[in-house]
A and B are shown apart, each in its own frame.
Chain A
Amino acid sequence: MQWASWSDFWAMGGYGLYVWGSYLVTFVAIVLEIILLRHGRKDTLKRLRRMRRWEEQ
């Protein structure tokens, strides 16, 4: 184990801003893509179903 305590862990030897700034933004970006992918699929299904009902009439 590299860390004496949690505050030691979060401090990252004084580089906390840079290390956690990297990890946080990466995490947020990936979560955002996952949300967009889910929405994309749902929206497409909804839109195609609507178009289909339209075409049938």
Chain B
Amino acid sequence: MSGAGLSFRIGLLVAVIDVVVACSPEPVGMPGIRGMHEEGRYAETLELLASLLDESPDDLALNHLYGVALLATGNSGMAVWPLRKAAEAADDGVEDRLLLAAALLRSTSSEDGIVALGQVLALEPDNIEALIKRAGANLEQNKHEEVLADAERVLALVPSNMRATLWRLKSLADLDRIDEAKIALEETVESLSTSKASRALEPRLCGMAAELEEADGDDDAALHKWEECLEEFPGAEMLVTEAVRLFDKRGDHDRSEAQLRKAIEARPRKLSFRKALAARLVEQERLKEAEQLLLDAATTEEKAPAAWMALADYYRSRDDAAASARATEQALHQMDSVLPVVLGQYADDLIQAGEFARANEVIAELDTPRLVNLLEGRMLLAKGDPASALEKLEAGLQLWPGNPTARWLAGRAAEELGDFDRAISEYRNSVRAGASQTDAAIRLAHIHEAEGALGDALFVLSSRIRANPDDVDAYLSMIRLGRLGGPPGTSRDALKALSRLPGQEVTSLVTAAALQAGVGGAAAAVKVIERGELDLNAPENFRALAAMVEHLASAGRLDEGLTRVLTALEAHSDSAEFHHIHGRALRASAKPADQIKVAFERALELEPEHSQALADLARAVAEEGRVEEALALYDRAILADDNDSSSAWAAVQLLDEKDEREPRLIALLDAHPLHAKAATLLAEILVEQNGDLERAEQLANRAVRFGGGREARDIQARVALARGE
């Protein structure tokens, strides 16, 4: 049925209703209701219609109007019932059935909508709207035969219907009737060649031709076609996306990158192209290029808030909160209205950058209590007040329990307070809420590992990997735990997965060698590295060289190790890492202390904050009895890498006086709450000084819990004795 005919039928229907209604007492407000509908003021009629229906539930006009209003205001789930009532009771009911179908189709399952459309078509077999809608619904369900049938019926009635044309093409392809699809496509292109409307469709049709070649199994022809299409339409997003997918599938990542660059050149304002390319550059560690790409988008336009936000996201992903805050500020200056989520993110960046005063100003602008509580909680934690932080976070979590970051922060606060049960619970909740969004899974795995609960640690890491399959740390932890006693195959499977990640060749090789050392000894580990055929003289492969030298030393082949590192240094004397490895090789070979120190000092000249070189030099200096100097070096090492507790512990052990040890132990435990030996030692100090025995008990319990062994149990007993228990 043509559109004009349908309009006539609807007009007639309305006129009939008007006549019927005019002949019976018209409910109050009906003309007004219709008038408001004509003005698009559907929401304002809902309450009145509902109350009228309560009085006259079987009034078809009311049911119809109510259904229309519900549908127009997005309440399709509610519209279904009055519309069905109107459709069933009406003699014809085509319009109500179409509306009912529309309501039913706006659901997660469209079967009933398809049935309703079938009922319309039973009454009006040539109802274009019903055919189109049914084809669309069947398309979502991949019912290709049904789509094709309806598309062809539409085309028989309206040959120029483009949607039906495209669906016909798609369904032919989906049904593997490629030859027919190709012919149909050619015919379509030809018929559109003179139409203005065709310009918008050309990229899509071009892409379809390429897809048909791919569906036909001819990847080369598909590639050739994609290249043709991309030459003609370099900025067509659909084309670019699909072409990049194909290039990646063929392993031609350089081509993908080149295509994205062309797309950006053709459409410099299209942010999605830049983001896609930036993501690739980041994967390749080409960070400066990625940053510049996004910065160009933000700075070449006078008003580009979306581009500034994309830049802020990039900085956030690099953990550069200050830069993210600056980028967000630029975006905020350019936005007409600001969503709370944006303000919240900005405040979050400010807090993480330590700009608390400004963060407070921004938080004051927010009127969302759950967001305010969470931000204030984060700030209190950053300021070193975990107890108050936890209180605030709890208030926020009451209303926003599924926020993984808030749970993570609550876990950290609990850890700082020594409440590890609470910390475990919060980290688990964070993992549940979003395993990929924080490091809660990694932290939780560490806690479980420290408790000796390897199974629990592995379970958590598995969750993490499922959510974040590129997480190198998670794989490395899994490999380590597998070696410690996880189920057979754990380490091997994790290593296999790790080796498949881009850019992890060195890590995989070093890890494989370490695993082999545990099985076949150091010599076997050396062979693994040799088989990897990495250029050990290349600075970027320093970890492989370090592993090689270490395993050679363990195998008693010290000279060989030294030779290797000297060769590397000859090629790259400006590599701090190589100098560091040299120092370690000299130490393993029991060379004179001066030579060892010179190597480490040279590394530090090139990279002053090289944490391991600092620690190694500190050790060398300490062995000469120069404690103060060694402590200073250890302090620098701690600052350079606060993830590693070894320097902090080594520094403690240099000291004899309890007064000197105590503050360092406190700082160590603040940074590394699971350090059992530090907890044991501090507990011992407190007991010997008749100090805070309650604190001593907490520390002793902590030490026992996290693998402090016999010494921890001894101090636990001593504390109990001191407390008179």
Partners in one complex: no
Q: Which residues of B contact A (CB under 8 A)?
A: none
Q: Which residues of A contact B (CB under 8 A)?
A: none
